[in-house]
Amino acid sequence: MTTGVESVFAAISDPTRRAILDRLAHGPTRVTDVAAPFAMSLNAVSKHVKVLERAGLVRRARQGREHVLELDPEPLRAVAEWTSSLERYWNDRLDRLEAFFIKERSK
């Protein structure tokens, strides 16, 4: 089992799992309703849901006899921070390059 940020990146690498998260972003949803749009068995969808639960992106609550799934987008923050750190480094590099050319031109 992967842990922490690793399990989050692994969880969102799959298009079905991202689609499940998109669905849950609109509100808590019963497992059977989450599975409905997918051309796969309830069992296959449940396996994807378990991966999302282990990554901390989905919580499962019991409502009577139903299992209801709920999104927790908090772990995605680490993904957003990593992508923006790469962009930041990149922009810093471009800034230094620009400064270099301006300096060269003024010689």
The residues binding its own copies (CB under 8 A) are 6, 9-10, 12-13, 15, 18, 21-22, 25-27, 71, 73, 76-77, 79-80, 82-87, 89-90, 93
31/79 with CB nearer its own copies: 79
For β-strands 29-30 and 58-63, DSSP reports them as unpaired
Q: 3-state SS of the chain? A: CCCHHHHHHHHHCCHHHHHHHHHHCCCCEEHHHHHCCCCCCHHHHHHHHHHHHHCCCEEEEEECCEEEEEECCCCHHHHHHHHHHHHHHHHHHHHHHHHHHHHHHCC
Q: Which two tokens stand for residue 33?
A: 């309703």
* Residue 6 CB, nearest approach to its own copies (Å): 6
26/103 with CB nearer its own copies: 26
* Residue 42 CB, nearest approach to its own copies (Å): 24
* Residue 40 CB, nearest approach to its own copies (Å): 17
* Residue 79 CB, nearest approach to its own copies (Å): 5
